[in-house]
Amino acid sequence: MRSPRPARLAAVALLLAALAAAAAAPAAAASRDGYGRARRLRMRGKVVEMFYHAYDNYMAYAFPHDELKPLTKGFTDSLSELGNLNLEHLPQDYNGSALTLVESLSSLVVLGNLTEFDRGVSWLSENLTFDVDARVNLFECNIRLLGGLISAHILAKDYSSQNKDGVYQNQLLHLAENLGSRFLPAFETPTGLPYAWINLKYGVMENETTETSTSGCGSLILEMGALSRLTGDPRYEAAALRALRKLWSMRSSLNLVGSTLDVLSGNWIEYSSGIGAGVDSFYEYLIKAYILFGSDEYWDMFHSAYLAVQKYFRHGPWYHEADIRTGEATHWQLTSLQAFWPGVQTLLGDVAAANLSHREFYNVWQRFGVLPERYLLDYGILHPTEKYYPLRPEFAESTFYLYQATKGVIMNNRQIILLGFFFLKILIKQIKII
Ligand SMILES: *[C@@H]1O[C@H](CO)[C@@H](O)[C@H](O)[C@H]1NC(C)=O
Ligand SMILES: *[C@@H]1O[C@H](CO)[C@@H](O)[C@H](O)[C@H]1NC(C)=O
Ligand SMILES: *[C@@H]1O[C@H](CO)[C@@H](O)[C@H](O)[C@H]1NC(C)=O
Ligand SMILES: *[C@@H]1O[C@H](CO)[C@@H](O)[C@H](O)[C@H]1NC(C)=O
Ligand SMILES: *[C@@H]1O[C@H](CO)[C@@H](O)[C@H](O)[C@H]1NC(C)=O
């Protein structure tokens, strides 16, 4: 998707996991690669410090709004603003949905701060409501809010079964179910493909746009499938699966999918497509759905789609965009969002391909100090306006998977520590606001 993702906390959590794993490595390995345990623990401490820097300042200055604006100590209600350029249909006294708190719950559990986790859960149970006249983007609301609530619910269940305190009584799951039920009207189209936008209180609005993206229709199955499995209500998974099947039925004879489409007619609008913005998470969700639910249907779709991408979009280690009808190249550009691909290749087990594509993103990262939003492959230069790095977590996630899968083969401990240190240094030196 084109809109910015909640990158900082997610990337920090991944780094933390990678560093913690490395810190736990045996002392012999540590001395062999020259990165001692003490240094790793220091870096781990830095990651924890950064998490609290972000979290505490959000709670102090922006909560219960969605996100902190660090330069002004103001806030933004990003859930209803993402992709909503004209800020249409926002109620006057709207206070957001505590989005950063929801997204931080899982990090609090990873850091072992159950007191703060419980405090967050109590606040959300008592004060969060979705009965608001706000038009939100279905995709963003699904991956961030529904996904955040469901993963925190699963973690809360895990630890309350160990602690037997009885404070946790499925409050997050009830919130998730309430939210999920507000998604369902978006799927009431002749094709089953959902509208991109939904009003949380009133459903699909009059004159709503019928244009959406492939990721908008194809990145719902993990959260909505999990919601059905957890509640026993099959409607969420059924709606998301119907949309995914319809999307896949629209593929070209080359097994490629376009990037934008019309939800009423089920026709493609944009035939030029790649693995970046507008399509990326369609591929990611297919393989992750196969891993999560184990159904061969997801594997069959993923496998055909993956082979087509490797055949028509790949040029050496790079991925360009192409017309899905002819396979002819349309745009030659590397985008920051594409950096999820080596992670997908690792999950699939195509480690040799992951090695190659990861290396190219790594080289571009090294050349510019961060991954630029858009880099023009045919000219070998940055895109004139899209030079920024909006803290996207894709490259960190791919690095983490590749390291976990191939320890010592493609990336040894020393390389992962260096890369982790590299991410951390950039986040602290260039991005952190004091
Ligand atoms: C938002 O917060 C303000 C100030 O606390 C409050 O007056 C208002 O009622 C809240 N709006 C909603 C929709 O709850
Ligand atoms: C948990 O988080 C809160 C809020 O940042 C903090 O005050 C508290 O010290 C943390 N507790 C632990 C054990 O880290
Ligand atoms: C819910 O919000 C109110 C108003 O801000 C606050 O006083 C109350 O403590 C909150 N509930 C919880 C459980 O934190
Ligand atoms: C819907 O769009 C049409 C054509 O632009 C316009 O005439 C009509 O007033 C709109 N209706 C609403 C409810 O906005
Ligand atoms: C990874 O790529 C490099 C550079 O092409 C190559 O030297 C190395 O053998 C590859 N490693 C694996 C495990 O494929």
- pLDDT of 353-394, one tens digit each? 999 999 899 888 888 888 899 999 888 899 999 988 888 889
Whether 394 is catalytic is yes
Please, which residues have CB within 8 angstroms of residue 374's CB and are 6 or more apart in sequence?
A: 333, 334, 335, 336, 382, 383, 386, 387
316 lines ligand 5 (CB under 6 A): no
**Ligand 1 midpoint to CA 64 (Å):** 10
Q: CB–CB of 287/344 below 8 Å?
A: yes
pLDDT the model gives residue 231: 98
Does the pLDDT value for residue 303 go beyond 90? yes
Pocket of ligand 4 (CB under 6 A): 206-207
93 lines ligand 1 (CB under 6 A): yes
- pLDDT of 233-275, one tens digit each? 999 999 999 999 999 999 999 999 999 999 999 999 999 999 9
Q: Indicate the range of 79-88, 152-161, 246-255 predicted with least confidence.
A: 79-88
Q: Where residue 322 falls among pLDDT bands split at 50, 70, 90?
A: very high
Does the pLDDT value for residue 6 go beyond 50? no
pLDDT the model gives residue 275: 96
Structural domain spans, the chain: 64-295
Mutation choice for ligand 1 from 93, 97, 127, 131, CB with most ligand atoms inside 8 A: 93
Report the amino acid identity of residue 95. Answer: N
Mutation choice for ligand 4 from 207, 208, 209, CB with most ligand atoms inside 8 A: 207
Q: Where residue 12 falls among pLDDT bands split at 50, 70, 90?
A: very low
Average pLDDT, the chain: 87
pLDDT the model gives residue 164: 56
User: What ligand has the least distance to the C-alpha of 350?
Assistant: 5
Candidates 309, 194, 186; CA nearest to 262 is: 194
pLDDT the model gives residue 253: 98
The predicted model gives 138-153 an average pLDDT of 96
- 123 is written with which tokens? 């606040």
DSSP code per residue over 347-362? HHT-HHHHHHHHHHHH
**Ligand 3 midpoint to CA 73 (Å):** 22
**Ligand 1 midpoint to CA 189 (Å):** 35
Whether 297 is catalytic is no
Q: Where residue 407 falls among pLDDT bands split at 50, 70, 90?
A: confident
For a pLDDT cut of 90, what percent of the chain falls above it? 62
pLDDT the model gives residue 378: 87
Alpha carbon dihedral 247, 253, 257, 259, in 10-degree steps, equals -110
Strand, coil or helix: what is 414?
A: helix
Q: Where residue 28 falls among pLDDT bands split at 50, 70, 90?
A: very low
Q: Which atom of ligand 2 is nearest to the CA of 115?
A: 1
Does the pLDDT value for residue 285 go beyond 70? yes
Q: Indicate the range of 1-5, 74-78, 148-152, 208-212 predicted with least confidence.
A: 1-5
Please, which residues have CB within 8 angstroms of residue 271's CB and are 6 or more apart in sequence?
A: 258, 323, 324, 325
Q: Kindly indicate whether the domain formed by 64-295 is annotated with CATH number 3.50.50.60.
A: no
Give the whole-angstrom CA distance, residue 77 versus residue 80: 6
Q: Indicate the range of 15-29, 42-56, 57-71, 333-347 predicted with least confidence.
A: 15-29
pLDDT the model gives residue 366: 82
Give the whole-angstrom CA distance, residue 320 versus residue 360: 13
pLDDT the model gives residue 4: 37
pLDDT the model gives residue 320: 95
Q: Where residue 85 falls among pLDDT bands split at 50, 70, 90?
A: low
Whether 373 is catalytic is yes
Q: Where residue 35 falls among pLDDT bands split at 50, 70, 90?
A: low
Question: Residue ranges of the alpha helices (H) in 168-253?
Answer: 171-183, 214-218, 221-231, 235-249
pLDDT the model gives residue 43: 82
The predicted model gives 275-279 an average pLDDT of 93
- 214 is written with which tokens? 């492939």
The predicted model gives 112-125 an average pLDDT of 93
Q: Where residue 293 falls among pLDDT bands split at 50, 70, 90?
A: very high
The residue among 248 and 418 whose pLDDT is bigger is 248
Q: Which atom of ligand 5 is nearest to the CA of 356?
A: 2
Q: Where residue 74 falls among pLDDT bands split at 50, 70, 90?
A: very high
**Ligand 5 midpoint to CA 355 (Å):** 6
pLDDT the model gives residue 10: 46
Whether 280 is catalytic is yes
Global confidence as pTM: 0.89
The residue among 222 and 19 whose pLDDT is bigger is 222
